[in-house]
Amino acid sequence: QLSRERIIIEHIHRSLKIFRILSSRYRNRRRRFGLRFNLIAGIYNYELALGYHQVAE
């Protein structure tokens, strides 16, 4: 059970690293980090709803 949940989180981290928000140093204004992170999370959730990403349940 724990490994199933972990693999889902690992896939989400991979997707966020593709946008380079987690994989490299954030060099823009700190106050906009949360906004950009939420926008990327929204894009990921939208793609998830459309079926672009598969989530193992």
Domain that holds residue 44: 2-50
What pLDDT digit, counting tens, does each position of 27-48 carry? 777 778 888 888 888 888 888 8
- Within a domain: 57: no
- Within a domain: 16: yes
- Within a domain: 41: yes
Domains contained in the chain, number = 1
Alpha helices in 1-57 (DSSP H): 2-18, 33-50
Looking at residue 52, its pLDDT comes to 73
27 to each of 14, 16, 21, 33, 47, how far by Cα in Å?
A: 20, 16, 10, 10, 26
- Within a domain: 36: yes
Contact 15, 44 (CB under 8 A): yes
- Within a domain: 19: yes
- Within a domain: 44: yes
- Within a domain: 56: no
Tell me the whole-structure pTM to 2 decimals.
0.60
